[in-house]
């Protein structure tokens, strides 16, 4: 029997924006408040799982043509590359720096290099979670 998923799909289209926005908020809030790369990545992959539940695998692949194993690799590369980058300025591995900048819209903002490491964690978490879920979901 063909099922009619209009309600689920419409609500998914609206709610997806809230979840992705909250995931990005958690990612950037991780420095001073609860949050960070791990929770943000889990929430972003939760948004993709919601898409997978409401639509089928083919549609989601059309919307987000991402190879999730490669995404995890890119995340690891960013994290390790950030750690190795501190050798360039003669500091120990993984040491980070921060400074205050005047940005056009945000005003005085504290930018740290630890955010780059967090970005690596974020991408690794999305990649690993989505790889696990897709691998389990595809084998019938």
What is d(CA 36, CA 52) in angstroms, rounded to the nearest whole number?
Answer: 24
Work out which of 16, 18, 96, 127 binds another protein, going by CB under 8 A: 18
In sequence order, which ranges of the chain are alpha helices (DSSP H)?
Answer: 6-29, 37-54, 57-63, 68-85, 114-138
- Scanning 17-25, 56-64, 88-96, 106-114 for contacts with another protein by CB under 8 A, the matching segment is 17-25
* Residue among 82, 85, 70 nearest 126 (CA): 70
Q: Interface with another protein includes 15 (CB under 8 A)?
A: yes
Shortest spacing between CB 7 and another protein, in angstroms = 6
- Scanning 15-23, 38-46, 56-64, 113-121 for contacts with another protein by CB under 8 A, the matching segment is 15-23
Phi, psi at 88, each rounded to 5°: -65, -35
Work out which of 7, 88, 106, 136 binds another protein, going by CB under 8 A: 7
DSSP state of 103: E
| Bridge pairing between strands 107-112 and 98-103 | antiparallel
Shortest spacing between CB 97 and another protein, in angstroms = 30
Q: Which residues inside 19-48 make contact with another protein, applying CB under 8 A? A: 22, 25
What is d(CA 37, CA 43) in angstroms, rounded to the nearest whole number?
Answer: 10
Q: Interface with another protein includes 14 (CB under 8 A)?
A: yes
Phi, psi at 85, each rounded to 5°: -65, -25
- Scanning 10-18, 78-86, 96-104, 115-123 for contacts with another protein by CB under 8 A, the matching segment is 10-18
Q: Report the interface residues with another protein, using CB under 8 A.
A: 1, 3, 7-8, 11, 14-15, 18, 22, 25
């Amino acid at each position: 029997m063909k099922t009619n998923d209009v309600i689920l799909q419409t609500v998914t289209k609206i709610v997806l924006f809230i979840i992705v926005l909250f995931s990005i908020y958690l990612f950037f809030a991780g420095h001073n408040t609860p949050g960070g790369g791990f929770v943000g990545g889990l929430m972003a992959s939760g948004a993709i799982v919601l898409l997978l539940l409401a639509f089928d695998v083919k549609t989601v692949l059309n919307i987000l043509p991402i190879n999730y194993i490669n995404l995890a690799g890119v995340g690891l590369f960013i994290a390790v590359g950030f750690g190795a980058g501190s050798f360039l300025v003669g500091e120990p591995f993984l040491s980070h720096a921060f400074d205050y900048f005047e940005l056009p819209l945000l005003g005085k903002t504290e930018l740290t290099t630890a955010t780059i490491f967090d970005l690596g964690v974020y991408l690794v978490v999305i990649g690993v979670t989505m790889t696990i879920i897709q691998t389990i979901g595809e084998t019938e």
